[in-house]
């Protein structure tokens, strides 16, 4: 929300945190209604026989661990359709993959593999069941690797990567996740994109010396669908008409 409205960001910290114990419950109810309406409009689960729509607030969930709610499917299609992927080269990594909505949509794009990282065992098992059910004719990638683990413990492979984040956690964890990606890109320079949907802490990406914003989208009146895409390499940035950031 920092990029959307700095004042609101301050207000919604501490006890008024949208993922905190008080406001979080109300926010959850709003998200529940929103997801219900979106499912009626997009019919994602009813078309594919999956179970990704309902938000889930885990018991004793820490404020820094944001509750599960799926990304609007049409927004994921729009985002991934805008990234110039060389077929079968990129890994798609969803940090905080929840029930797997973004993983399922990503499988309709030519990724080499699709990795889901989810802290909650219960959500991780839902994602496994959803992956097993999801078989659209348009599926292009069936190499799924679902891990039940903390995003902070994830190690990147050597392939180009699209890192997908839909408001999964708080600022401190995001800082560590981005620092780890930057370290991996310094050791092994390659193409990388960071997609951040509902970019509350976009200033973390803005502070990066490796990543540069190449695209933003989503209607302002639907903050949960607003997104930014940052790119890491010369080729990636240039292909989107942006002066490339130096890899240092």
Q: 105 to 134, contacts with ligand SAM by CB under 6 A? A: 117-120, 123
Q: How far is CA 92 from CA 18, 23, 41, 84, 194, in A?
A: 28, 32, 26, 13, 10
Binding flag, residue 24, ligand SAM (CB under 6 A): no
Binding flag, residue 181, ligand SAM (CB under 6 A): no
Query: Per-residue x/- mask for ligand SAM, residues 151 to 170, rule CB under 6 A?
Result: xx-------------xxxx-
Q: Which is nearer to ligand SAM, 151 or 232 (CB)?
A: 151
Rg (CA), the chain: 17
Binding flag, residue 45, ligand SAM (CB under 6 A): no
Contact stretch for ligand SAM (CB under 6 A) within 93-101, 186-194, 205-213, 221-229: 93-101
Count of alpha carbons within 13 angstroms of residue 164, beta-carbon side: 28
> Is residue 209 classed as helix, strand or coil in its secondary structure?
coil
Min dist. Cβ of residue 53 to ligand SAM (A)? 10
Binding flag, residue 97, ligand SAM (CB under 6 A): yes
Query: Residues 122, 123, 129, 135: what is their CA dihedral angle, to the nearest 10 degrees?
Result: 180
Binding flag, residue 98, ligand SAM (CB under 6 A): yes
Which residues are CB-neighbours of 241 under 8 A, at least 6 positions away? none
Q: State the number of binding residues for ligand SAM (CB under 6 A).
A: 25
Binding flag, residue 101, ligand SAM (CB under 6 A): yes
C-alpha span between 127 and 220 (Å, rounded): 30
C-alpha span between 126 and 81 (Å, rounded): 26
Which chain residues interact with ligand SAM by CB under 6 A? 65-66, 68-71, 94, 96-98, 101-102, 117-120, 123, 150-152, 166-169, 173
């Amino acid at each position: 929300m920092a990029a959307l409205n700095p004042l609101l960001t301050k207000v919604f910290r501490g006890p008024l945190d949208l993922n905190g114990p008080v406001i979080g419950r109300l926010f959850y109810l709003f998200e529940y209604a929103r997801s219900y309406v979106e499912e009626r409009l997009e019919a994602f689960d009813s078309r594919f026989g999956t179970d990704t729509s309902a938000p889930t607030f885990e018991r004793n969930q820490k404020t820094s661990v944001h509750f599960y709610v799926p990304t609007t499917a049409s927004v994921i299609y729009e985002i991934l359709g805008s990234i110039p992927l060389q077929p079968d080269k990129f890994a798609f990594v969803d940090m905080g993959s929840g029930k797997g909505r973004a993983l399922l949509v990503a499988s309709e794009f030519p990724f080499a593999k699709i990795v889901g990282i989810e802290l909650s065992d219960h959500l991780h098992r839902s994602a496994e069941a959803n992956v097993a059910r999801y078989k659209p004719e348009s599926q292009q990638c069936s190499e799924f690797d679902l891990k039940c683990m903390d995003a902070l413990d994830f190690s990147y492979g050597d392939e180009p990567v699209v890192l997908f984040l839909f408001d999964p956690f708080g600022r401190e964890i995001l800082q560590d996740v981005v620092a780890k990606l930057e370290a991996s890109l310094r050791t092994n320079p390659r193409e990388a994109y960071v997609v951040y949907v509902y970019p509350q802490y976009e200033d973390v990406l803005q502070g990066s010396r490796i990543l540069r914003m190449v695209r933003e989208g989503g209607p302002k009146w639907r903050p949960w669908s607003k997104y930014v895409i940052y790119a890491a390499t010369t080729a990636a940035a240039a292909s989107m008409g942006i002066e490339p950031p130096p890899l240092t």
